[in-house]
Amino acid sequence: MKRRYPVIDIAKTGKNIKRIMKNQGYTVKDVQRFLGLGTPQGIYHWFDGRCLPTLDNLYALSEYDE
């Protein structure tokens, strides 16, 4: 019997991050400043499903309340 384990869909995760940010009224610049990122490109890469936030950044985003 094959073991099944959860798989993270990078594209869906990026879309969810973008949707949640929009619903909360957060801009890319807000999140960039909060996370201390030098440039916003990483955030756009999340949106596009090119990569995922690090665990540290994902946790920080879950606690973000402007």
Its pTM stands at 0.85
- Residue 18 and residue 1: Cα distance in Å, rounded? 37
- Residue 51 and residue 41: Cα distance in Å, rounded? 11
Where are the domains positioned within the chain? 10-63
3-state class (DSSP) for residue 39: coil
CATH C-level class of 10-63: mainly alpha
Write out the H or E segment, with its range, that includes residue 48: helix 41-48
pLDDT tens track for 9-23: 999 999 999 999 999
Tell me the angle at which helices 41-48 and 10-24 cross, rounded to the nearest 10 degrees.
Answer: 120
pLDDT tens track for 18-64: 999 999 999 999 999 999 999 999 999 999 999 999 999 999 999 99
